[in-house]
Amino acid sequence: MSEKRKDSKGRVLKDGESQRANGTYDYRYTDIHKKRRCIYAKSLTELRKKEEELWRDLADGIDYAAGEMTVADLVDRYMNLKRGLKPNSLRSYNTAVKRIHADPFGQKAIKTVKLSDAKGWFVFLHDSGFKQNTIGILQSVVRPAFEMAVEDDIIRKNPFKFKLSDVVPKDAYVRNALTREQQEKYLQFVQDYGGNYYDDIVILMGTGLRVSELYGLTRADIDFERHCIHVRRQLCRTAEKPYFVTPPKTKSGIRNVPMTDTVCAALRRVVKARASTKVEALVDGCSGFLFLDKSGMPKVAMHLENYMRGVQGKFEKAYSKPVPRITPHVLRHTFCTNVQQAGLDVKSLQYLMGHSNASVTLDVYTHSFILCIPRTSAAHPNSNGKVVASCPANGYWRCMPLCCWGLRWCCAGCICWRCTPPMLHGRRRKAQSPYSCPPGGATFMMRRGGCSPVLRSAGRWCAFPGRAITTGCMPVPMPPDRRFCTVAAAAPPRFCWR
Protein backbone atom coordinates (compact mmCIF):
# COMPACT_ATOMS: atom_id res chain seq x y z
CA MET A 1 0.00 0.00 0.00
CA SER A 2 1.46 3.37 -1.10
CA GLU A 3 2.29 5.92 1.56
CA LYS A 4 -0.01 8.96 1.76
CA ARG A 5 1.50 12.27 0.74
CA LYS A 6 1.83 14.94 3.45
CA ASP A 7 2.88 18.57 3.57
CA SER A 8 5.67 20.03 5.71
CA LYS A 9 3.30 20.19 8.69
CA GLY A 10 2.33 16.54 8.41
CA ARG A 11 -1.14 17.11 6.93
CA VAL A 12 -2.34 14.56 4.41
CA LEU A 13 -2.70 15.96 0.87
CA LYS A 14 -5.62 14.94 -1.34
CA ASP A 15 -5.34 13.83 -4.95
CA GLY A 16 -4.17 16.74 -7.08
CA GLU A 17 -2.82 18.72 -4.15
CA SER A 18 0.87 19.36 -3.69
CA GLN A 19 3.19 21.65 -1.77
CA ARG A 20 5.72 23.61 -3.71
CA ALA A 21 9.34 24.28 -2.77
CA ASN A 22 8.58 27.80 -1.59
CA GLY A 23 5.91 26.54 0.84
CA THR A 24 2.83 27.48 -1.24
CA TYR A 25 0.25 24.99 -2.47
CA ASP A 26 -1.27 24.12 -5.84
CA TYR A 27 -4.08 21.94 -7.13
CA ARG A 28 -4.18 20.36 -10.58
CA TYR A 29 -7.47 19.52 -12.30
CA THR A 30 -9.04 19.01 -15.73
CA ASP A 31 -11.47 21.74 -16.88
CA ILE A 32 -14.66 21.36 -18.96
CA HIS A 33 -12.58 21.64 -22.13
CA LYS A 34 -10.46 18.60 -21.08
CA LYS A 35 -7.41 20.78 -20.44
CA ARG A 36 -5.15 20.50 -17.41
CA ARG A 37 -5.33 23.55 -15.16
CA CYS A 38 -3.76 24.58 -11.89
CA ILE A 39 -4.83 26.86 -9.04
CA TYR A 40 -2.51 28.25 -6.37
CA ALA A 41 -2.81 29.37 -2.73
CA LYS A 42 -0.50 30.43 0.07
CA SER A 43 -2.01 28.02 2.59
CA LEU A 44 -3.67 24.63 2.45
CA THR A 45 -6.85 26.02 3.99
CA GLU A 46 -7.10 28.69 1.31
CA LEU A 47 -6.40 26.13 -1.40
CA ARG A 48 -9.21 23.85 -0.26
CA LYS A 49 -11.67 26.74 -0.23
CA LYS A 50 -10.74 27.38 -3.84
CA GLU A 51 -11.17 23.68 -4.58
CA GLU A 52 -14.71 23.72 -3.19
CA GLU A 53 -15.59 26.77 -5.29
CA LEU A 54 -13.97 25.15 -8.31
CA TRP A 55 -15.89 21.90 -8.07
CA ARG A 56 -19.16 23.71 -7.43
CA ASP A 57 -18.62 25.70 -10.62
CA LEU A 58 -17.61 22.63 -12.60
CA ALA A 59 -20.72 20.80 -11.39
CA ASP A 60 -22.88 23.69 -12.62
CA GLY A 61 -21.05 23.93 -15.93
CA ILE A 62 -19.27 27.16 -15.03
CA ASP A 63 -16.00 27.73 -16.89
CA TYR A 64 -13.79 28.49 -13.90
CA ALA A 65 -10.68 29.18 -15.98
CA ALA A 66 -12.48 31.67 -18.23
CA GLY A 67 -13.36 33.66 -15.12
CA GLU A 68 -9.73 34.68 -14.94
CA MET A 69 -10.17 37.04 -17.89
CA THR A 70 -10.11 40.72 -16.98
CA VAL A 71 -13.01 43.16 -17.13
CA ALA A 72 -11.31 44.96 -20.02
CA ASP A 73 -10.95 41.70 -22.00
CA LEU A 74 -14.60 40.84 -21.40
CA VAL A 75 -15.72 44.26 -22.60
CA ASP A 76 -13.58 43.89 -25.72
CA ARG A 77 -15.19 40.53 -26.46
CA TYR A 78 -18.66 42.04 -26.03
CA MET A 79 -17.94 45.04 -28.27
CA ASN A 80 -16.54 42.78 -31.01
CA LEU A 81 -19.96 41.11 -31.18
CA LYS A 82 -21.90 44.40 -31.20
CA ARG A 83 -23.38 45.40 -34.55
CA GLY A 84 -25.81 47.99 -35.87
CA LEU A 85 -24.66 50.89 -33.69
CA LYS A 86 -25.06 54.41 -35.02
CA PRO A 87 -21.90 56.53 -35.31
CA ASN A 88 -22.66 58.67 -32.26
CA SER A 89 -23.47 55.63 -30.11
CA LEU A 90 -20.36 53.82 -31.30
CA ARG A 91 -18.23 56.85 -30.46
CA SER A 92 -19.66 56.99 -26.93
CA TYR A 93 -19.11 53.27 -26.40
CA ASN A 94 -15.52 53.43 -27.65
CA THR A 95 -14.82 56.27 -25.22
CA ALA A 96 -16.24 54.16 -22.39
CA VAL A 97 -14.10 51.16 -23.42
CA LYS A 98 -10.96 53.33 -23.36
CA ARG A 99 -11.83 54.50 -19.84
CA ILE A 100 -12.28 50.90 -18.68
CA HIS A 101 -8.88 49.91 -20.09
CA ALA A 102 -7.20 52.88 -18.40
CA ASP A 103 -8.86 52.26 -15.02
CA PRO A 104 -7.32 49.72 -12.57
CA PHE A 105 -10.79 48.18 -12.23
CA GLY A 106 -10.49 47.01 -15.83
CA GLN A 107 -7.62 44.68 -14.85
CA LYS A 108 -9.65 42.79 -12.24
CA ALA A 109 -10.59 39.18 -12.98
CA ILE A 110 -14.31 39.07 -13.73
CA LYS A 111 -14.93 36.16 -11.33
CA THR A 112 -13.65 38.31 -8.44
CA VAL A 113 -16.00 41.23 -9.12
CA LYS A 114 -18.83 41.33 -6.58
CA LEU A 115 -21.88 43.59 -6.33
CA SER A 116 -20.17 45.77 -3.73
CA ASP A 117 -17.11 46.09 -6.00
CA ALA A 118 -19.23 47.30 -8.90
CA LYS A 119 -21.09 49.84 -6.76
CA GLY A 120 -17.86 50.97 -5.14
CA TRP A 121 -16.29 51.58 -8.55
CA PHE A 122 -19.16 53.81 -9.64
CA VAL A 123 -19.05 55.74 -6.36
CA PHE A 124 -15.31 56.23 -6.81
CA LEU A 125 -15.83 57.53 -10.35
CA HIS A 126 -18.52 59.96 -9.16
CA ASP A 127 -16.29 61.22 -6.36
CA SER A 128 -13.54 61.68 -8.96
CA GLY A 129 -15.71 64.14 -10.89
CA PHE A 130 -17.61 61.95 -13.35
CA LYS A 131 -21.27 62.83 -13.89
CA GLN A 132 -24.06 60.30 -13.63
CA ASN A 133 -24.65 60.35 -17.39
CA THR A 134 -21.01 59.42 -18.05
CA ILE A 135 -21.14 56.62 -15.49
CA GLY A 136 -24.42 55.48 -17.05
CA ILE A 137 -22.65 55.01 -20.40
CA LEU A 138 -20.01 52.89 -18.65
CA GLN A 139 -22.76 50.79 -17.10
CA SER A 140 -24.44 50.38 -20.49
CA VAL A 141 -21.21 48.68 -21.65
CA VAL A 142 -20.15 46.58 -18.65
CA ARG A 143 -23.62 45.41 -17.64
CA PRO A 144 -24.45 43.58 -20.92
CA ALA A 145 -20.84 42.35 -21.09
CA PHE A 146 -21.18 40.66 -17.68
CA GLU A 147 -24.62 39.40 -18.68
CA MET A 148 -22.97 37.73 -21.66
CA ALA A 149 -20.48 36.13 -19.26
CA VAL A 150 -23.39 34.76 -17.20
CA GLU A 151 -25.02 33.30 -20.31
CA ASP A 152 -21.67 31.74 -21.32
CA ASP A 153 -21.45 30.05 -17.89
CA ILE A 154 -18.30 31.96 -16.99
CA ILE A 155 -19.75 33.60 -13.86
CA ARG A 156 -22.87 32.95 -11.79
CA LYS A 157 -24.30 36.42 -11.31
CA ASN A 158 -24.08 39.82 -12.97
CA PRO A 159 -22.64 42.23 -10.37
CA PHE A 160 -23.72 45.27 -12.42
CA LYS A 161 -27.41 44.42 -12.34
CA PHE A 162 -28.56 47.31 -10.14
CA LYS A 163 -30.22 50.68 -10.54
CA LEU A 164 -27.60 53.36 -11.02
CA SER A 165 -29.65 56.12 -9.36
CA ASP A 166 -29.61 54.09 -6.12
CA VAL A 167 -25.83 54.46 -6.00
CA VAL A 168 -24.98 57.68 -7.80
CA PRO A 169 -27.18 60.78 -7.33
CA LYS A 170 -28.73 62.46 -10.34
CA ASP A 171 -26.60 65.47 -11.16
CA ALA A 172 -27.23 65.86 -14.89
CA TYR A 173 -27.96 69.30 -16.28
CA VAL A 174 -31.73 69.70 -16.63
CA ARG A 175 -32.83 71.49 -19.78
CA ASN A 176 -35.61 73.96 -19.10
CA ALA A 177 -37.91 75.33 -21.77
CA LEU A 178 -37.93 79.08 -22.28
CA THR A 179 -40.94 81.09 -21.19
CA ARG A 180 -42.81 83.22 -23.69
CA GLU A 181 -41.07 86.33 -22.43
CA GLN A 182 -37.64 84.70 -22.65
CA GLN A 183 -38.34 83.50 -26.18
CA GLU A 184 -39.26 86.98 -27.39
CA LYS A 185 -36.32 88.62 -25.62
CA TYR A 186 -33.84 86.03 -26.88
CA LEU A 187 -34.96 86.24 -30.50
CA GLN A 188 -34.80 90.03 -30.39
CA PHE A 189 -31.34 89.92 -28.82
CA VAL A 190 -30.02 87.46 -31.42
CA GLN A 191 -31.42 89.61 -34.22
CA ASP A 192 -29.69 92.69 -32.81
CA TYR A 193 -26.50 90.80 -31.98
CA GLY A 194 -25.90 89.82 -35.58
CA GLY A 195 -24.50 86.75 -37.23
CA ASN A 196 -26.18 84.45 -39.72
CA TYR A 197 -27.89 82.24 -37.15
CA TYR A 198 -31.09 84.15 -36.43
CA ASP A 199 -33.16 82.21 -38.95
CA ASP A 200 -31.66 78.92 -37.75
CA ILE A 201 -32.87 79.64 -34.21
CA VAL A 202 -36.31 80.77 -35.39
CA ILE A 203 -36.77 77.54 -37.35
CA LEU A 204 -35.61 75.33 -34.48
CA MET A 205 -37.91 77.11 -32.04
CA GLY A 206 -40.84 76.84 -34.45
CA THR A 207 -40.44 73.23 -35.59
CA GLY A 208 -38.69 71.32 -32.80
CA LEU A 209 -36.19 69.79 -35.22
CA ARG A 210 -32.93 68.38 -33.93
CA VAL A 211 -30.08 70.66 -35.00
CA SER A 212 -28.50 67.88 -37.07
CA GLU A 213 -31.86 67.36 -38.81
CA LEU A 214 -32.05 71.08 -39.58
CA TYR A 215 -28.60 71.16 -41.15
CA GLY A 216 -29.39 68.00 -43.10
CA LEU A 217 -32.19 69.75 -45.01
CA THR A 218 -31.87 70.30 -48.75
CA ARG A 219 -34.04 72.41 -51.03
CA ALA A 220 -36.01 69.30 -52.03
CA ASP A 221 -37.05 68.78 -48.39
CA ILE A 222 -38.94 72.10 -48.20
CA ASP A 223 -42.47 72.27 -49.60
CA PHE A 224 -43.45 75.93 -49.48
CA GLU A 225 -46.76 75.27 -51.24
CA ARG A 226 -47.96 72.88 -48.56
CA HIS A 227 -46.07 74.56 -45.70
CA CYS A 228 -44.29 71.33 -44.86
CA ILE A 229 -40.73 70.19 -44.03
CA HIS A 230 -39.75 66.63 -44.92
CA VAL A 231 -37.26 65.31 -42.35
CA ARG A 232 -35.26 62.47 -43.87
CA ARG A 233 -31.66 62.69 -42.65
CA GLN A 234 -29.13 64.16 -40.23
CA LEU A 235 -25.88 65.86 -41.16
CA CYS A 236 -23.14 65.21 -38.60
CA ARG A 237 -19.43 65.73 -38.13
CA THR A 238 -16.88 64.17 -35.79
CA ALA A 239 -13.13 64.39 -35.32
CA GLU A 240 -12.74 61.15 -37.29
CA LYS A 241 -15.20 62.00 -40.08
CA PRO A 242 -15.52 65.63 -41.28
CA TYR A 243 -19.05 65.13 -42.69
CA PHE A 244 -21.41 62.18 -42.88
CA VAL A 245 -25.16 61.66 -43.33
CA THR A 246 -27.19 59.33 -41.12
CA PRO A 247 -30.93 58.60 -40.81
CA PRO A 248 -32.77 60.41 -38.00
CA LYS A 249 -32.18 59.23 -34.44
CA THR A 250 -35.14 56.81 -34.54
CA LYS A 251 -37.42 55.42 -37.23
CA SER A 252 -40.07 57.83 -35.96
CA GLY A 253 -37.68 60.67 -36.80
CA ILE A 254 -38.62 60.35 -40.47
CA ARG A 255 -41.61 62.66 -40.54
CA ASN A 256 -43.31 65.68 -42.13
CA VAL A 257 -43.33 68.78 -39.95
CA PRO A 258 -45.79 71.61 -40.74
CA MET A 259 -44.44 75.15 -40.94
CA THR A 260 -45.89 78.25 -39.37
CA ASP A 261 -45.82 81.50 -41.30
CA THR A 262 -42.82 82.62 -39.22
CA VAL A 263 -40.87 79.46 -40.00
CA CYS A 264 -41.84 79.65 -43.65
CA ALA A 265 -40.59 83.24 -43.88
CA ALA A 266 -37.32 82.28 -42.18
CA LEU A 267 -36.76 79.42 -44.61
CA ARG A 268 -37.48 81.67 -47.56
CA ARG A 269 -34.82 84.06 -46.28
CA VAL A 270 -32.38 81.16 -45.95
CA VAL A 271 -33.05 80.01 -49.51
CA LYS A 272 -32.74 83.53 -50.85
CA ALA A 273 -29.54 84.31 -48.94
CA ARG A 274 -27.87 80.99 -49.75
CA ALA A 275 -24.73 81.79 -51.71
CA SER A 276 -24.25 79.93 -54.96
CA THR A 277 -21.10 77.81 -54.79
CA LYS A 278 -18.97 76.71 -57.71
CA VAL A 279 -18.79 73.19 -56.32
CA GLU A 280 -21.58 71.77 -54.18
CA ALA A 281 -20.47 69.65 -51.22
CA LEU A 282 -21.40 66.00 -51.77
CA VAL A 283 -21.86 64.04 -48.54
CA ASP A 284 -22.82 60.37 -48.78
CA GLY A 285 -24.68 61.03 -52.01
CA CYS A 286 -26.52 64.14 -50.75
CA SER A 287 -25.89 67.71 -51.92
CA GLY A 288 -27.60 71.08 -51.98
CA PHE A 289 -27.70 71.59 -48.22
CA LEU A 290 -29.56 74.80 -47.34
CA PHE A 291 -27.41 76.03 -44.47
CA LEU A 292 -23.84 76.98 -45.35
CA ASP A 293 -21.08 78.60 -43.31
CA LYS A 294 -18.91 81.51 -44.43
CA SER A 295 -16.62 79.21 -46.40
CA GLY A 296 -19.52 77.72 -48.34
CA MET A 297 -19.44 74.37 -46.53
CA PRO A 298 -22.53 72.85 -44.86
CA LYS A 299 -23.16 73.91 -41.28
CA VAL A 300 -23.14 71.32 -38.51
CA ALA A 301 -24.33 71.38 -34.89
CA MET A 302 -20.96 72.65 -33.64
CA HIS A 303 -21.39 75.94 -35.55
CA LEU A 304 -24.68 76.85 -33.86
CA GLU A 305 -23.58 75.55 -30.46
CA ASN A 306 -20.48 77.76 -30.51
CA TYR A 307 -22.54 80.78 -31.57
CA MET A 308 -25.14 80.28 -28.86
CA ARG A 309 -22.41 79.74 -26.27
CA GLY A 310 -20.92 83.09 -27.17
CA VAL A 311 -24.30 84.82 -27.01
CA GLN A 312 -25.29 83.31 -23.64
CA GLY A 313 -23.26 85.57 -21.36
CA LYS A 314 -24.16 88.75 -23.22
CA PHE A 315 -27.85 87.85 -23.21
CA GLU A 316 -27.84 87.21 -19.44
CA LYS A 317 -26.39 90.69 -18.85
CA ALA A 318 -28.87 92.34 -21.19
CA TYR A 319 -31.85 90.41 -19.81
CA SER A 320 -30.88 91.21 -16.21
CA LYS A 321 -32.76 88.12 -15.00
CA PRO A 322 -31.64 84.53 -14.43
CA VAL A 323 -32.08 82.55 -17.64
CA PRO A 324 -31.41 78.88 -18.36
CA ARG A 325 -28.46 77.89 -20.48
CA ILE A 326 -29.80 78.11 -24.00
CA THR A 327 -28.66 75.46 -26.47
CA PRO A 328 -30.14 74.13 -29.72
CA HIS A 329 -31.71 71.29 -27.76
CA VAL A 330 -33.33 73.73 -25.33
CA LEU A 331 -35.11 75.23 -28.35
CA ARG A 332 -36.49 71.75 -29.08
CA HIS A 333 -37.75 71.48 -25.49
CA THR A 334 -39.28 74.94 -25.86
CA PHE A 335 -41.16 74.00 -29.02
CA CYS A 336 -42.51 70.82 -27.44
CA THR A 337 -43.70 72.71 -24.37
CA ASN A 338 -45.34 75.44 -26.46
CA VAL A 339 -47.30 72.95 -28.55
CA GLN A 340 -48.31 70.88 -25.56
CA GLN A 341 -49.59 73.95 -23.74
CA ALA A 342 -51.46 74.95 -26.90
CA GLY A 343 -53.60 71.82 -26.52
CA LEU A 344 -52.16 69.38 -29.05
CA ASP A 345 -52.81 65.75 -28.17
CA VAL A 346 -49.95 63.50 -27.10
CA LYS A 347 -49.76 61.24 -30.16
CA SER A 348 -49.67 64.14 -32.60
CA LEU A 349 -47.00 65.85 -30.49
CA GLN A 350 -45.00 62.61 -30.41
CA TYR A 351 -45.17 62.50 -34.21
CA LEU A 352 -43.98 66.10 -34.58
CA MET A 353 -41.06 65.49 -32.20
CA GLY A 354 -40.04 62.26 -33.91
CA HIS A 355 -40.11 60.26 -30.67
CA SER A 356 -40.57 56.51 -30.69
CA ASN A 357 -42.23 56.62 -27.26
CA ALA A 358 -44.80 59.12 -26.02
CA SER A 359 -43.45 58.92 -22.47
CA VAL A 360 -40.25 60.64 -23.64
CA THR A 361 -42.35 63.42 -25.13
CA LEU A 362 -44.25 64.10 -21.91
CA ASP A 363 -41.72 63.22 -19.20
CA VAL A 364 -38.56 64.71 -20.70
CA TYR A 365 -39.48 67.37 -23.22
CA THR A 366 -42.54 69.15 -21.86
CA HIS A 367 -42.23 71.70 -19.06
CA SER A 368 -45.11 73.47 -17.34
CA PHE A 369 -45.13 76.99 -15.99
CA ILE A 370 -47.59 78.16 -13.34
CA LEU A 371 -48.57 81.13 -15.50
CA CYS A 372 -49.54 78.80 -18.36
CA ILE A 373 -51.95 76.66 -16.32
CA PRO A 374 -55.48 77.61 -17.37
CA ARG A 375 -57.82 78.90 -14.69
CA THR A 376 -61.10 77.23 -15.62
CA SER A 377 -62.89 78.88 -12.73
CA ALA A 378 -61.94 82.40 -13.76
CA ALA A 379 -64.45 84.65 -15.45
CA HIS A 380 -64.34 84.95 -19.24
CA PRO A 381 -66.12 87.64 -21.27
CA ASN A 382 -68.35 86.23 -23.99
CA SER A 383 -69.24 87.81 -27.31
CA ASN A 384 -72.11 89.74 -25.71
CA GLY A 385 -69.82 91.30 -23.14
CA LYS A 386 -71.18 89.16 -20.32
CA VAL A 387 -69.01 87.15 -17.96
CA VAL A 388 -69.28 83.39 -17.53
CA ALA A 389 -67.63 81.42 -14.72
CA SER A 390 -66.75 78.45 -16.93
CA CYS A 391 -67.36 77.01 -20.37
CA PRO A 392 -71.14 76.53 -20.87
CA ALA A 393 -72.77 73.11 -21.15
CA ASN A 394 -71.76 71.08 -24.21
CA GLY A 395 -68.87 73.47 -24.77
CA TYR A 396 -65.23 72.65 -25.35
CA TRP A 397 -62.29 74.85 -24.47
CA ARG A 398 -59.67 74.80 -27.20
CA CYS A 399 -56.51 76.81 -27.74
CA MET A 400 -57.17 79.25 -30.58
CA PRO A 401 -54.26 81.55 -31.46
CA LEU A 402 -54.16 82.91 -35.00
CA CYS A 403 -51.62 80.22 -35.77
CA CYS A 404 -51.09 77.54 -33.16
CA TRP A 405 -47.71 76.30 -34.36
CA GLY A 406 -49.21 75.11 -37.64
CA LEU A 407 -52.08 73.22 -36.01
CA ARG A 408 -55.49 74.87 -35.87
CA TRP A 409 -58.70 73.92 -34.18
CA CYS A 410 -62.05 73.87 -35.97
CA CYS A 411 -65.36 73.16 -34.26
CA ALA A 412 -68.82 72.31 -35.56
CA GLY A 413 -71.27 72.14 -32.71
CA CYS A 414 -70.08 69.43 -30.36
CA ILE A 415 -67.83 67.93 -33.03
CA CYS A 416 -64.26 69.13 -32.70
CA TRP A 417 -61.32 68.12 -34.84
CA ARG A 418 -57.86 69.36 -35.74
CA CYS A 419 -56.63 70.51 -39.11
CA THR A 420 -53.83 72.48 -40.68
CA PRO A 421 -54.23 74.91 -43.53
CA PRO A 422 -51.03 73.44 -45.08
CA MET A 423 -51.06 69.70 -44.48
CA LEU A 424 -51.16 67.18 -41.65
CA HIS A 425 -50.45 63.51 -42.31
CA GLY A 426 -50.45 64.16 -46.06
CA ARG A 427 -53.98 65.59 -46.39
CA ARG A 428 -55.35 69.10 -46.66
CA ARG A 429 -58.96 69.84 -45.87
CA LYS A 430 -60.84 72.48 -47.80
CA ALA A 431 -63.00 75.19 -46.29
CA GLN A 432 -66.63 75.64 -47.24
CA SER A 433 -67.96 78.75 -48.90
CA PRO A 434 -68.16 81.88 -46.73
CA TYR A 435 -71.44 83.39 -45.60
CA SER A 436 -72.34 86.70 -44.12
CA CYS A 437 -71.44 87.52 -40.58
CA PRO A 438 -72.71 90.11 -38.09
CA PRO A 439 -71.11 93.55 -38.39
CA GLY A 440 -67.36 93.48 -37.93
CA GLY A 441 -66.88 89.79 -38.65
CA ALA A 442 -66.51 87.18 -41.36
CA THR A 443 -67.39 83.49 -41.38
CA PHE A 444 -66.67 80.14 -42.97
CA MET A 445 -69.11 77.23 -42.89
CA MET A 446 -67.77 74.45 -40.69
CA ARG A 447 -69.22 70.97 -40.56
CA ARG A 448 -68.14 67.34 -40.34
CA GLY A 449 -65.31 66.60 -42.78
CA GLY A 450 -64.30 70.18 -43.39
CA CYS A 451 -62.81 73.14 -41.63
CA SER A 452 -61.95 76.72 -42.30
CA PRO A 453 -58.53 78.28 -42.15
CA VAL A 454 -57.90 80.93 -39.55
CA LEU A 455 -58.93 84.30 -40.93
CA ARG A 456 -55.92 86.56 -40.63
CA SER A 457 -57.71 89.75 -41.59
CA ALA A 458 -58.46 91.73 -38.44
CA GLY A 459 -57.76 88.59 -36.43
CA ARG A 460 -61.36 87.34 -36.44
CA TRP A 461 -62.81 83.89 -36.16
CA CYS A 462 -66.45 83.13 -36.90
CA ALA A 463 -68.13 79.73 -37.00
CA PHE A 464 -71.41 78.05 -37.80
CA PRO A 465 -72.61 75.45 -35.30
CA GLY A 466 -73.36 72.50 -37.57
CA ARG A 467 -75.32 73.64 -40.63
CA ALA A 468 -77.11 76.53 -38.93
CA ILE A 469 -76.93 80.00 -40.49
CA THR A 470 -76.58 81.76 -37.16
CA THR A 471 -73.06 82.97 -36.48
CA GLY A 472 -70.80 84.18 -33.76
CA CYS A 473 -67.62 86.22 -33.98
CA MET A 474 -64.49 86.55 -31.92
CA PRO A 475 -63.71 90.06 -30.67
CA VAL A 476 -61.09 92.13 -32.45
CA PRO A 477 -58.21 91.99 -32.04
CA MET A 478 -58.00 88.42 -30.83
CA PRO A 479 -55.03 88.23 -28.43
CA PRO A 480 -52.56 85.39 -29.04
CA ASP A 481 -52.85 82.21 -27.00
CA ARG A 482 -56.46 82.88 -26.07
CA ARG A 483 -59.03 80.12 -25.68
CA PHE A 484 -62.50 79.96 -27.10
CA CYS A 485 -65.55 77.85 -26.39
CA THR A 486 -68.30 76.95 -28.81
CA VAL A 487 -71.68 75.68 -27.63
CA ALA A 488 -73.86 73.54 -29.87
CA ALA A 489 -77.28 74.01 -28.31
CA ALA A 490 -77.28 77.75 -27.92
CA ALA A 491 -79.37 80.37 -29.66
CA PRO A 492 -77.55 82.49 -30.58
CA PRO A 493 -74.32 80.52 -30.21
CA ARG A 494 -71.88 81.80 -27.59
CA PHE A 495 -68.15 82.11 -28.10
CA CYS A 496 -66.25 82.65 -24.88
CA TRP A 497 -62.65 83.73 -24.88
CA ARG A 498 -59.90 84.71 -22.48
| Residue 355 a catalytic site member | yes
The catalytically annotated residue of 131, 226, 329, 418 is 329
Residues 6+ apart with CB under 8 A from 391: 376, 397, 485, 496
* Burial annotation 51-81 (CB, 10 A radius, 16+ → b, else e): beebeebeeeebbbbbbebbbbbbbbebbee
CA geometry: angle 231, 236, 238, nearest 5 deg:
170
Catalytic residue among 99, 111, 210, 303: 210
Q: Catalytic: 210?
A: yes
Q: What is d(CA 291, CA 277) in angstroms, rounded to the nearest whole number? A: 12
Catalytic pick from 77, 249, 274, 498?
A: 249
Q: Which amino acid is it at 2?
A: S
396 Cβ neighbours under 8 A, 6+ residues apart: 411, 414, 416, 485, 486
Query: Which residue among 99, 175, 332, 398 is the active-site one?
Result: 332
If DSSP codes are grouped into helix, strand and coil, which group holds residue 448? coil
Contact 493, 392 (CB under 8 A): no
Considering 232, 355, 398, 408, which one is annotated as catalytic? 355
Distance CA 418, CA 438 (A): 26
The 10 Å Cβ neighbour count of residue 492 is: 14
Catalytic residue among 227, 365, 367, 408: 365
329 is catalytic: yes
Active site residue 332: yes
Q: What is the DSSP string of 280-298?
A: ---BTTB--BS-B-TTSSB
Catalytic residues: 210, 249, 329, 332, 355, 365
